A and B are shown apart, each in its own frame.
Chain A
Amino acid sequence: MAVLAYAFPTKEENKLKSYVYPYVYPYFHQSWSMFVPVPKQNFNIYVKYDGSEWHDMFSEIVLAHQRNRLGGYENLALSFSSAVRYYASSVKNENNAEIYKGGNTNYDVLEKMIVQYLKLKNGSAPENLEIIIRTGDSYGDRYHSHYYPVGKPSA
């Protein structure tokens, strides 16, 4: 019954869920609102470091996973896909170029992923890393970009 109260999808915040949460999470945690709400955004994560050109590392991962679904890219693709979605849900839909001053955990999670992934891929930590995260609706008619020069001191 507790699991049912916990997992039952509702339009508004379910008060019962907060009561049963301590009993259900983490051992019996479940949520089955699969593809509800329907995802409607595409993402690009452009990176530039060590004097390289800008390139879209998220699309590279997605393409590699599309080429072979059993090719070992599922964990990586899912990690970036989830992290960039959480990030997009935490920022305003407006274009900006900013020096990141902290305070957005969703961005911190994503930035750590990007830095560590590039470190593992290239064998060394990326120097002078700059990141542009672009969010576009899946119909391709609205885009928002956020620019983060990583590690530069705040103005």
Chain B
Amino acid sequence: MEEGKWLRKLLALFVIYKSIYWFCDYNLLFSAQSIIYKNERVLPIWQWPAFILFKSHSLFLSIAFLSSTFLTALYVLFSGKNLRIAFFILWFGIVNINNHVYCALSGGDYLFQHLLFFCIFLSNNEQKQNPLYSSLDTALHNLGIIALRMQVCLVYFLAGYAKLLDIDWMNGTAVNDIFKVHDYSLPFLYNSDGAFGKELNFLVIGYQLFFPVLVWVQKIKKWFLLLGVLQHLFIAFIIGLPSFGFIMIIAYAIFYTPFKKT
């Protein structure tokens, strides 16, 4: 039941990190003068709960959503009880905030949302008197762990597969082309056309495609994940998508299995 413990703590920290930026950007993203364009399209009834914040013009509601997610994340960080309810609140809050700030999202924000959802299934590790409850608790926990791992593997495999269908990635020019785009690069890379970009291009495809297999090979797992961490730090600080880079690194915590004495 120790699996997932670190992921929960790191996710709570990431909620706090995101919340600080949301509070700093409150006027930009949540106030009456925000840059968010809101259309008046009619939503099917089952979508309403996901767009409460988007559809509302109440400043109180946006403060309530931001504060409740921030405080719940602090609770998760310092308490080990009622974590399923806490993660449900976090997931619901983040779904609403993400749908409200839709223009400022990267793929990482969707992964963040799904990781929070699957954490709802994880156990508090509390002893239960009733064996039926205990078995159900373990089953739900294991289901959550499998779903979390599958989600991360799915992200990598689909990202790698999509690149196989793209001519620029297959020609090896994609990374150098991305370096030329100013909002995804740094000035010293603007004129990059070298072998570094080409090698990185194929390394990225290989890493993404084989992640769902190689992450289970114990002998190389540590080094393989370390390579992934370097890749995501590159995305965070060179490509300029820090939230995306950090959440991908945090997701690796689900592959961490604590050492147990026998």
Interface set of A (CB-CB < 8 Å, partner B)? 3-4, 7-11, 22, 25-43, 59, 62, 65-66, 69-70, 72, 74-79, 81-83, 105, 108-109, 112-113, 116-117, 119-120, 138-139
B223 at the interface (CB under 8 A from A): no
The answer to whether A76 and B163 touch (CB under 8 A), given A7-B154, A138-B177, is: no
- A34 x B103 contact (CB < 8 A): no
Nearest CB in chain B to that of A106: its residue? B37
Residues of B within 8 A of A39 (CB): 177-178, 181, 184
Residues of A within 8 A of B173 (CB): 38
Closest Cβ of chain A to B21, distance in Å, is 6
Closest Cβ of chain B to A64, distance in Å, is 11
- B33 x A116 contact (CB < 8 A): yes
Closest Cβ of chain B to A112, distance in Å, is 5
Residues of B within 8 A of A119 (CB): 33
- B187 x A66 contact (CB < 8 A): yes
- B103 x A74 contact (CB < 8 A): no
B25 at the interface (CB under 8 A from A): yes
Q: How many A-B residue pairs have CB under 8 A?
A: 143
Residues of A within 8 A of B216 (CB): none
- A38 x B178 contact (CB < 8 A): yes
Interface set of B (CB-CB < 8 Å, partner A)? 21-22, 24-25, 27-29, 33-35, 37, 39, 44, 47, 50-51, 95, 99, 101, 103-107, 110-111, 114, 117, 154-155, 158-159, 161-163, 165-166, 168-169, 173-174, 177-178, 180-184, 186-187, 236-237, 240-243
Residues of A within 8 A of B117 (CB): 27-28
- A74 x B107 contact (CB < 8 A): no
- B114 x A9 contact (CB < 8 A): no
Partner of B166, one of A30, A36, A78: A36
- B162 x A33 contact (CB < 8 A): yes
Residues of B within 8 A of A41 (CB): 181
A-B contact pairs, 20 of them (CB 8 A): A8-B158, A9-B161, A32-B154, A32-B155, A38-B173, A38-B177, A39-B178, A39-B184, A59-B182, A69-B236, A72-B24, A74-B240, A74-B241, A75-B25, A75-B29, A109-B37, A109-B103, A113-B35, A120-B33, A139-B180
